[in-house]
Amino acid sequence: LLMWSFRIAPSGDVHLTIPELNIPQLRKHAPEACVVIVTDDIQHRRFHVEANLSAESSARLADRELDTYLAADTVFFAAREDREEVEILMRRRRQASMAAGVSGLLVSPMPLLLTLPYSGGRAFAARGLLSSSAGRRLPVRPRGPPLLLFLGSSTRSNKLALSWLVDEVMPRIREALPDQNLSVAGSRKLASEMTDELGNVLPDIPIDVLGFVEDLDELLSRAAVLLLPTFVDSGVVTQVVAGIRGRVPIVTTSLGRRGIWHTSDALPAECQMPGTPPLLLRDTPSSFAQAVLDLLNDERAYQGTQGCLQAFGVARDVEQEQVLAVEAMQRHCSERRAAHSRVQGTGYK
């Protein structure tokens, strides 16, 4: 099982990844091996933001990423949208090769692409992230000043999101609630760096820097609303998963739903309307701020959002989806090994 990762050199070049380095050696020395890649993002798109790559560098990285996926037997994606997009890119690459006169016998077989949904890790799953939520009581809305919470580590994408909240959203919220502040947890470094970068804004927007929090469950139990905008068109926003697990109403941008929720999920009709719970999707500062204010000012809307989060937890059995994906991978690997044994010595193209 090969995990995907990019590393940026001081020169700005992107190092070879673990799969790029090791798949050729596996094919040479253990041609019967089944190679599986697990990726939580479309990596070139993530690094276009995180490393601020140029369009040209990002395009080269996209070709390398697709080549690496094509060299594997199975690729797991955390988000269904990522899997579907890569499948389209692979088919286009294959069609282009055939159109260029490359024999079908020389075109690499398509790997099996599967969705392996993110479940928050072993500890989250053990405590009932999604599938075991039936029968759980909804958390009580905290009393006192509402805790508006942003979760994130010190990445460029999180800095962009937090900057947008501070610059564009919080001033609108504070027009209606002058004493309202924003709490930031997950990385003390993120908030301290943002303090330096937004020094002329922060005096007007109080931010409580919580840094790393050992007990996320306890923090989520006190949170009134999670403010989680995202502007990266790739992967899964893990903070959204944590919020769903904690039954905390979440306001995010449209990209925040990637890999999380689809209209095919068995949810009540009131939770299926565009822009409604379980995730409140708002892409402009004014609509984002208004969604937060509506939750804070309307108890019925707040409880309705929590109810949709509960319904989502019952409707989507993430652990079962994971089991089915792994079983499909095992069957595919068995078939590939059997095919290899029938043509011993030919290896993989």
Q: Report d(CA 278, CA 60) in Å as an integer.
A: 38
Least confident interval from 2-16, 53-67, 287-301: 2-16
Judged by average pLDDT, the poorest of 126-130, 262-266, 301-305 is: 126-130
- Higher confidence at residue 325 or residue 16? 325
Give the highest mean pLDDT range of 171-175, 208-212, 244-248, 273-277.
171-175
In this prediction, residue 346 carries a pLDDT of 47
Least confident of 125-129, 200-204, 233-237, 255-259: 125-129
In order, the DSSP letters of 211-243 are: ES-S-HHHHHHH-SEEEE-----SS--HHHHHH
Across 309-334, average pLDDT:
82
**Residues 6-56: tens digit of each pLDDT:** 666 666 666 777 888 888 888 888 888 888 998 887 877 777 766 677 777
Under 8 Å CB-to-CB from 276, ≥6 apart: which residues? 270, 308
- Distance from C-alpha of 176 to C-alpha of 171, rounded to nearest angstrom: 9
> Which pLDDT tens digit goes with each residue over 134-144?
333 444 555 56
Q: What is the pLDDT of residue 251?
A: 93
In the predicted structure, residue 67 carries a pLDDT above the cut 70: yes
Q: Which pTM was predicted? A: 0.76
**pLDDT confidence of residue 1:** 52
| Nearest one of 84, 17, 80, 76 to 44, comparing CA atoms | 17
Across 72-86, 98-112, 209-223, 316-330, the highest mean pLDDT is recorded for 72-86
The 10s digit of each residue's pLDDT in 184-207 is: 887 666 656 665 655 545 556 677
> Does 121 score more than 50 pLDDT?
no
The two tokens of residue 152 are 């994130």
